[in-house]
Amino acid sequence: MMAAAGGLAAAPPPAAGVAAIDLRGVSKHYPAAAGTSVHALGPIDLHIPTGSFVAVVGPSGCGKSTLLRLVAGLEMPDGGTMMRYGTPLDAPSHEVGIVFQEHVLFPWNTVLENVLLPADVLALPRAAARERALRLLEMTGLAAFANHRPQMLSGGMRQRAALCRALLADPRLLLLDEPFGALDALTREELSLELSGLWQDLGRTAFLITHDIEEAILLSDRVLVMSPRPGRIRADIAIDLPRPRNADTPRLPRFQALKQEIRDIIFDRRA
Amino acid sequence: MSASPSSRLAGRATIPVVYLVLLVAWELSVRVFAVPAWILPAPTEIGRTAVQWAPELGFNSLVTLRETLVGFLLAIALSLPLAVLIALNATARRLLYPILLGLQSVPKVAVAPLIILWLGLSEWPKIVIVVLVCFFPILVNLIAGLEAAPRTMLDLMRSLGASQHMIFRRLRIPVALPHFFTGCKVAVTFAVIGSVIGEFVAAQEGLGYLILISTSQSQTPLAFAAIALLTLLSIALFHGIEWIERRVVDWTP
């Protein structure tokens, strides 16, 4: 199952027409007090074409994190079907890399050891994994900090290290759960643009969960707007902005128009 | 942090100065009120006796230290597999926890004579009492530590498809280490008390035995010297574990 060269080579080209993720009629309830349950999500349809960058925006509590946990295989739905690259999605996969909201780096390991964690878990060839880890750290400007503990790093640097870890096993699909939510606005924008460039270079599929509309527009090909309780997809908006995107992209009139459109959808629903 | 060297020195000197003042106050009140030495000896009297009895005190300290350390290390050796079993297996937890809690709830001083009855007059009954007194804090803290891995970190490991063994090695053990050392620090002071309980009940050596003998002969200064040594022993063991902890758990600020 593990790709050739221990998964460090580029992922094999996907069969034409097969979506990275295909969810149909998926819903999720959580048990609550005295035999009742909370309807957290759905029923929801989600289609992530291979090679695209799809974002979900919505207010907190709209079930978007639940959606990501389902796509990651960390939780199972109560109803509906979930497919990942044409096969049933019923467990986490090494083909999927996740960047969590909190960096989730182990404080007892160095930055390099943290980035190498997937290689240890998946028993990838050590030397090749190390080489790739160092290359990723170089790309994200962390090469000088490889042997530091994560607590020595700034918030932005920690999240970069978490991104390196998510990319180490060369996943076909990258899941981003409010990856920059805990950072200040300046660092957030800087990292968003970095991620945009990285994603384009690597040519991977990405699924982003965020409450930041600008971040969603800046990065994505499509933005899905979610409504709260139970979480449903209220709108599916194509982001027709040119790539590569840069610090000037948010100044484009089209960017502002898209932002306004998405805001209107979110606030209409709430009113 | 930004304190000047002189104020840092003053900070370090505070505690010794406080102890010195207390000792001087003790010395003065014993002299002023002419308290008999068999009730409360002056610190200088205790010091003089300690020097006089140095070989006996040294020998008996070593006996107590040996019992304490052997019992403490056995308690760790016993707690490790039990904690792993209880933390990872719900059935083991249901079966073992009540037994261990029951064992912990039995007053150790009350069963000490029985243990000596069963195991005779060697060092072993004292070591067994030490184990009984100090294994529980190690066990409870270790179990709590093994279960303390944050959900986000467990999610990360699960998302990578990590095996239970891998999760244990890379995540649960490092998370448990600070808890383990907390348990050890509590336990090691209990361990010293355990040795003394054992020596009180039946012994021909050890600092507890020395206290018993010297008080029965109104040799109060010697008893005080032995108590002082027990206290120092306990403090030294505590700091010894803290020293090891700082070297092992080097990621916490």
Neighbours of A134 (CB within 10 A): 17
> Could A118 and B156 be called an inter-chain contact, meaning their C-beta atoms sit closer than 8 Å?
no
Nearest chain B alpha carbon to A74: B159
Residue A132 neighbours by CB under 8 Å, 6+ apart: A8, A168, A170
- pLDDT band at residue A5, thresholds of 50, 70 and 90? very low
Contact A100, A53 (CB under 8 A): no
Rg (CA), chain B: 23
> Which of A76, A117, A159, A168 to substitute to test the interface with B, most B CBs within 10 Å?
A117
> Which pLDDT does position A235 carry in this prediction?
86
Count how many Cα atoms sit within 13 Å of the Cα of residue B118 in the half-sphere of its side chain.
9
**To the nearest whole angstrom, how far is the Cα of A168 from the nearest Cα of chain B?**
11
Tens-place pLDDT, residues A91-126: 888 889 999 988 899 999 999 999 999 999 999 999
Both tokens of B89, joined, read 């297996």
> Which pLDDT does position B4 carry in this prediction?
64
Task: Supply φ then ψ for residue A262, to 5 degrees.
Answer: -70, -40
Percent of chain B that is helix, strand, coil (3-state, to 5): 85, 0, 15
Residue A77 neighbours by CB under 8 Å, 6+ apart: A26, A27, A28, A41, A42, A70
Nearest to B46 by CA among B211, B253, B200, B236: B211
CATH of the domain spanning A21-83+203-271, picked from 3.40.50.720, 3.10.50.40, 3.30.750.24, 3.40.50.300: 3.40.50.300
Nearest chain A alpha carbon to B150: A104
Question: What mean pLDDT do residues B47-71 have?
Answer: 94
Tens-place pLDDT, residues A73-97: 999 998 888 989 888 888 888 889 9
CA distance A70 to A91: 9
* DSSP string covering A231-271: BEEEEEEE----SS--TTGGGSHHHHHHHHHHHHHHHHHH-
Residue A245 confidence (pLDDT) above 70: yes
- Is the minimum CB–CB distance between A74 and chain B shorter than 8 Å? yes
Question: What mean pLDDT do residues A130-159 have?
Answer: 91
Residue B142 confidence (pLDDT) above 80: yes
> Which pLDDT does position B5 carry in this prediction?
66
Structural domain boundaries of chain B? 1-30, 43-248
Least confident segment among A7-11, A98-102, B177-181? A7-11
Question: What mean pLDDT do residues A244-253 have?
Answer: 87
Q: A23 in the Ramachandran plot: left (φ > 0), alpha (ψ -120 to 50) or beta?
A: beta
Residue A24 confidence (pLDDT) above 50: yes
**To the nearest whole angstrom, how far is the Cα of B204 from the nearest Cα of chain A?**
47
CA distance A57 to A210: 5
- pLDDT band at residue B208, thresholds of 50, 70 and 90? very high
Structural domain boundaries of chain A? 21-83+203-271
Strand order in the sheet with A87-88: A37-48, A21-31, A79-84, A87-88
pTM over 0.95: no
Q: How many residues does chain A have?
A: 271
> Could B158 and A149 be called an inter-chain contact, meaning their C-beta atoms sit closer than 8 Å?
no
Number of H helices, E strands in chain A: 8, 10
CA distance A76 to A97: 18
Contacts 24+ apart (CB under 8 A), A2-9: A2/A94, A2/A122, A2/A124, A3/A170, A5/A125, A5/A128, A6/A122, A6/A124, A6/A125, A6/A128, A6/A129, A7/A94, A7/A122, A7/A124, A7/A169, A7/A170, A8/A124, A8/A125, A8/A128, A8/A129, A8/A132, A8/A169, A8/A170, A9/A170
Nearest to A99 by CA among A146, A160, A140: A160
Neighbours of B103 (CB within 10 A): 13
Q: What is the CATH number of domain B43-248?
A: 1.10.3720.10
Residue A6 confidence (pLDDT) above 50: no
**To the nearest whole angstrom, how far is the Cα of B189 from the nearest Cα of chain A?**
28
> Which pLDDT does position A8 carry in this prediction?
41
Contact A200, A241 (CB under 8 A): no
Question: What mean pLDDT do residues B32-55 have?
Answer: 91
Residue B59 confidence (pLDDT) above 90: yes
> Which pLDDT does position B3 carry in this prediction?
55
Residue A270 confidence (pLDDT) above 80: no
Mean model confidence pLDDT for chain B: 91
Least confident segment among A12-16, B87-91, B185-189? A12-16
Chain A residues with CB-CB distance to B252 below 8 A? 107
Nearest to A188 by CA among A171, A256, A196: A196
Q: How far is CA B231 from the centre of its chain?
A: 10
> Which pLDDT does position B56 carry in this prediction?
92
> Which H or E run includes A28?
strand A21-31
Question: What mean pLDDT do residues B142-159 have?
Answer: 93
CA distance A183 to A185: 7
Both tokens of B94, joined, read 């249901």
> Which of A70, A103, A106, A151 to substitute to test the interface with B, most B CBs within 10 Å?
A106
Burial class (CB in 10 A: 0-12, 13-18, 19+), A97: buried
> Which pLDDT does position A2 carry in this prediction?
34
Q: For strand A222-227 and strand A53-57, is the pairing parallel, antiparallel, or unpaired?
A: parallel
> Which pLDDT does position A16 carry in this prediction?
54
CA distance A114 to A107: 9
Tens-place pLDDT, residues A156-200: 899 999 999 999 988 889 999 988 877 888 888 888 888 888 887
Residue A104 neighbours by CB under 8 Å, 6+ apart: A162, B152, B153, B155, B156
ipTM of the complex: 0.84
- Is the minimum CB–CB distance between A120 and chain B shorter than 8 Å? yes
- Is the minimum CB–CB distance between A171 and chain B shorter than 8 Å? no
CA distance A204 to A51: 5
> Which pLDDT does position A107 carry in this prediction?
95
Beta strands in chain B (DSSP E): none
CA distance A149 to A109: 6
Angstrom CA distances, A241 to A189, A222, A257, stand at 17, 10, 11
Tens-place pLDDT, residues B10-32: 778 888 899 899 999 999 999 99
CA distance A161 to B105: 48
**To the nearest whole angstrom, how far is the Cα of A27 from the nearest Cα of chain B?**
21
Tens-place pLDDT, residues A221-234: 999 998 877 788 88
Nearest chain B alpha carbon to A108: B251
- Percent of chain B whose pLDDT exceeds 70: 97
* DSSP string covering B174-202: HHHHHHHHHHHHHHHHHHHHHHHHHHHHS
